[in-house]
Amino acid sequence: MIIRVKDIKKMSTKEIEEKIKDLKMELIKNKVSSGKGGKLKIKEIKRTIARLHTINRLNEMSIKNKPNFLKKSLNKK
């Protein structure tokens, strides 16, 4: 299951965390039942989980640490 970055950015933090939980369960199921053909599916799920974690972390950082130039430009308007 591939989730695009633009779709992830539309999700809330809560939705991202729920999606990560679902994908981790799917990963466990695929590891148990996979033969040689399941390796690509496992790799795809791992990448999607990593992508979700990355976007979630970037969202957290942007909320906490807004750059000064953005603060200045927002105050001028």
Q: Evaluate whether 3 touches 52 at the Cβ level (below 8 Å).
A: yes
**3-state SS class at 68:** helix
14 pLDDT tier (thresholds 50, 70, 90): very high
Q: Would you say residue 76 has pLDDT above 50?
A: no
Q: Would you say residue 75 has pLDDT above 70?
A: no
Looking at the structure of the chain, the number of domains it has is 1
Average pLDDT over residues 35-55: 88
pLDDT score at 50: 94
34 pLDDT tier (thresholds 50, 70, 90): confident
Q: How far apart are CA 63 and CA 38, in angstroms?
A: 38
Domain that holds residue 52: 5-76
pTM: 0.74
Nearest of 16, 11, 73, 15 to residue 50 by alpha carbon: 16
